[in-house]
Amino acid sequence: MVGIVIVSHSMKLAEGVKDLAEQMADQQLKIIAAGGMEDGGIGTDAMKICRALQAANSADGVVVLADLGSAILSAQTAMELLDEEYGSLISIADAPIVEGAISAAIQASIGGTLTEVIHAAEEARGLLKL
């Protein structure tokens, strides 16, 4: 099953998105929150993200959802720290963090491939609320 990592500048935000996505997901799905700095402050930490990627690891891959541009940069740095073979199983979705995480969790829970989970997350960009 494809794992999911939520990268946010805020641990509270990452944990909240994780909690929402878990409500829609299979209990076996690994959704890992990687928010904030090690000291609890606001920011992103490539080593913290690297550990989250490893925790979410499965033979099916990992999808990363991030809140802001520098979270993407930190996620990319974390991916570079992993060995090349595993790094190829990680993709960053260009998706809204909340809606994308929920869509990704649903698709991963029904056995979607890495490509399908990314597509589901990215499709969330077009969801209308009104």
pLDDT along the chain (130 residues), means of 10: 97 97 92 94 95 91 94 94 78 96 97 96 91
User: How much is the pLDDT for 85?
Assistant: 65
Report whether 19 contacts 35 (CB < 8 A).
no
User: How much is the pLDDT for 31?
Assistant: 97
- Which pTM was predicted? 0.94
End-to-end CA distance of the chain: 33
DSSP string for residues in 17-64: HHHHHHHHS-TT--EEEEES-TTS-SS--HHHHHHHHHHT--TT-EEE
User: How much is the pLDDT for 103?
Assistant: 97
Burial 66-90 (b: 16+ CB within 10 A, else e): bbeeebbebbeebbeebeeeeeebb
Number of domains within the chain: 1
In the block, residue with structure tokens 């799905």: 29
d(CA 93, CA 6): 11
| Host domain of residue 111 | 3-126
User: How much is the pLDDT for 35?
Assistant: 94
User: How much is the pLDDT for 26?
Assistant: 87
Known catalytic residues? 9
Beta bridge partners of 64: 5, 92
User: How much is the pLDDT for 65?
Assistant: 98
Residue 29 sits in a domain of what CATH number? 3.40.50.510
Q: What angle in degrees, to the nearest 10, is found between the helix axes of 114-123 and 97-109?
A: 140
Tokens representing 10?
Answer: 């805020």
